[in-house]
Amino acid sequence: MTRGDPVLTATGLQKFYQSGDRRIEVLRSVDLTVAAGESVSIRGESGSGKSTLLNLLAGLDSADAGTLAWGGAPAKASRRAVFLGIVFQSFYLIPEIDARANVLMAARMLKAPGAKERARADELLQRVGLTERATHLPTQLSGGERQRVAVARALMNSPQLLLADEPTGNLDEHTGDVVIEMLLALCRETGTALVLVTHNVAHAAKTGRQLVLTNGRLA
């Protein structure tokens, strides 16, 4: 896939919840197209549905209406591990295994890691500045270091699309800035498209395109 080709196409996505007799519309006919190599940010007030939207784009939840395509083909859970990577606010590292093993967990979703996959994990840890921390457990790492491990894990399978849900939400301002700069730099280097969900105006401004989710729609 070359730069400019659509890696993500969402059309008319809707999501609602029932609360007693009340229907709460979270997303109302959301349309979004992201091209290969593009970086897009999505901002919105707390409770506006940003994380709900990202879960739909990642195929982790189902929309009540609308369609979703990855790379021009219908999104399917069986393609998720090879097509996209996800970075969460809360890291979600496995506490019992070291940083290298956590990065390799993404590869294990496709096959048992071999020498090639271990070399790839070490390369990614080097690129996020954690070569000397590769054998440390998550509890031995700072918040910023844990998020950098999570970024390396998300890039392990060379995805075409990276989805980041408030990746700096649990970090201090300086560390958050470092993580965002690293995310953007890695995506530029690899040609991976990035969709960044954030409440931080400064972080959003660093992406190529800025969108705001309000009243269930993107503007």
Q: Output the tens digit of pLDDT for each of the chain's 219 residues.
A: 677 789 999 999 999 988 888 888 999 999 999 999 999 999 998 888 999 999 999 999 999 999 999 999 999 999 999 999 999 989 999 999 999 999 999 999 999 999 999 999 999 999 999 999 999 999 999 999 999 999 999 999 999 999 999 999 899 999 999 999 999 999 999 899 999 999 999 999 999 999 999 999 998
Structure tokens at 155: 């890039």
Question: What pLDDT is stored for residue 1 in this prediction?
Answer: 65
How far is it, in rounded angstroms, from Cα 146 to Cα 13?
Answer: 32
Given 3-state DSSP classes, what are the helix, strand and coil percentages for the chain, each rounded to the nearest 5?
A: 35, 30, 35
Phi-psi label, residue 91: left if phi above 0, alpha if psi -120 to 50, beta otherwise: left
Question: What pLDDT is stored for residue 182 in this prediction?
Answer: 92
How far is it, in rounded angstroms, from Cα 114 to Cα 99?
Answer: 17
Rg of the chain in Å (alpha carbons): 17
Three-state SS at 109:
coil
Structure tokens at 173: 């301002």
Question: What pLDDT is stored for residue 210 in this prediction?
Answer: 97
Parallel, antiparallel, or unpaired: how do β-strands 84-87 and 39-43 relate?
unpaired
Structure tokens at 51: 């994380």
CATH fit for domain 38-62+75-218, picks 1.10.260.40, 3.60.15.10, 3.40.50.300, 3.40.228.10: 3.40.50.300
**Cβ(100)–Cβ(134) under 8 Å?**
yes
Residue 109: exposed, middle, or buried by beta-carbon count in 10 A (0-12, 13-18, 19+)?
exposed
Write the DSSP symbol of residue 158: -
Contacts of 176 (CB under 8 A, 6+ apart): 168, 200, 203
Angstrom CA distances, 18 to 5, 15, 26, stand at 37, 10, 11
Question: What pLDDT is stored for residue 17 in this prediction?
Answer: 87
Residue with tokens 């609360």: 19
How far is it, in rounded angstroms, from Cα 175 to Cα 21?
Answer: 44
Residue with tokens 């993107």: 218
Residue with tokens 């400064």: 202
